[in-house]
Amino acid sequence: MTGSGLPRQSSPRRRRRSQWRGLAYIAPAMALVIVFFIMPVLFTGWMSLHNWPLMGASRWIGFNNYFRMYNDSRFITALNFTAYYTVIVTIAIFSVAFPLAIFVEKERQFVSAYRTIIFLPVVVGLATASLLWVWLANVDSGFIGPALKGLDLVAKSPNLLATFDTAFLTIVVMVVWKIAGFTMIILLTGLQAIPAELNEAARIDGAGRWQRFVHLTLPLMRKTIALALIVSVTGSILAFDQFYIMTAGGPQNKMISVVYYIFNQSFVSFNLGYGAALSIALLAILVAISIVQLWLLRAGEDHP
Partner 1 sequence: MIKRLIAATSIATLCLVSGAAAAEKVEMWVRSGIGDAFKKVVEAYNANHENQVVATEVPFSELVQKYATAIAGGQAPDALSMDLIYNPAFAAAGQLEDLTDWAKALPYFNSLSPSHVRLGTYQDRIYGLPLSVETSVFAWNKDLYKKAGLDPEKAPATWDEITANAEKIRALGEDTYGFYFSGGGCGGCMIFTFTPLVWGAGADILSADSKAATLDTPQMRKAVDIYRNMVKKDLVPAGAASDNGANFLTFTNGKIGQQSLGAFAIGTLVTEHPDINFGVTLIPGVEGTPSSFAGGDNFVITKGTKKIDAVKEFLEYVYSVDGQKVMAKYGSLPTRGDIADKVLEGLDPRMQVGLKAIGVAKTPYTLQFNDLINSANGPWASFTNAAIFGDDVDGAFSSAQSEMQSIIDSGQ
Residues that bind partner 1 in the complex, under the rule CB under 8 A: 53-56, 138-140, 156-159, 161-162, 167, 247-253, 256, 260, 264, 267-270
82, 127, 89, 88: which is closest to 282 by C-alpha? 82
3 state SS of 162: coil
Supply φ then ψ for residue 74, to 5 degrees.
-70, -35
Report the residue number, 225 or 246, with the smaller CB distance to partner 1: 246
Helix axes 164-192, 111-119, angle to 10 degrees: 140
> What SS3 string covers 242-303?
HHHHHCCCCCCCCCCCHHHHHHHHHHHCCEHHHHHHHHHHHHHHHHHHHHHHHHHHHHHHCC
Least CB distance to partner 1 at residue 206 (A): 57
3 state SS of 152: coil
If one counts every other C-beta atom within 10 angstroms of the C-beta of residue 276, the result is 23
Least CB distance to partner 1 at residue 280 (A): 18
Report the residue number, 190 or 249, with the smaller CB distance to partner 1: 249
Report the residue number, 171 or 188, with the smaller CB distance to partner 1: 171
How far is CA 296 from its chain centroid? 18
Please state, in angstroms and rounded to a whole number, the distance separating the CA atoms of residues 132 and 124. Answer: 10
176, 184, 187, 185: which is closest to 223 by C-alpha? 187
Report the residue number, 90 or 264, with the smaller CB distance to partner 1: 264
Least CB distance to partner 1 at residue 290 (A): 29
Report the residue number, 48 or 264, with the smaller CB distance to partner 1: 264
Least CB distance to partner 1 at residue 161 (A): 4
Report the residue number, 103 or 270, with the smaller CB distance to partner 1: 270
Least CB distance to partner 1 at residue 275 (A): 12
3 state SS of 135: helix
Least CB distance to partner 1 at residue 164 (A): 10
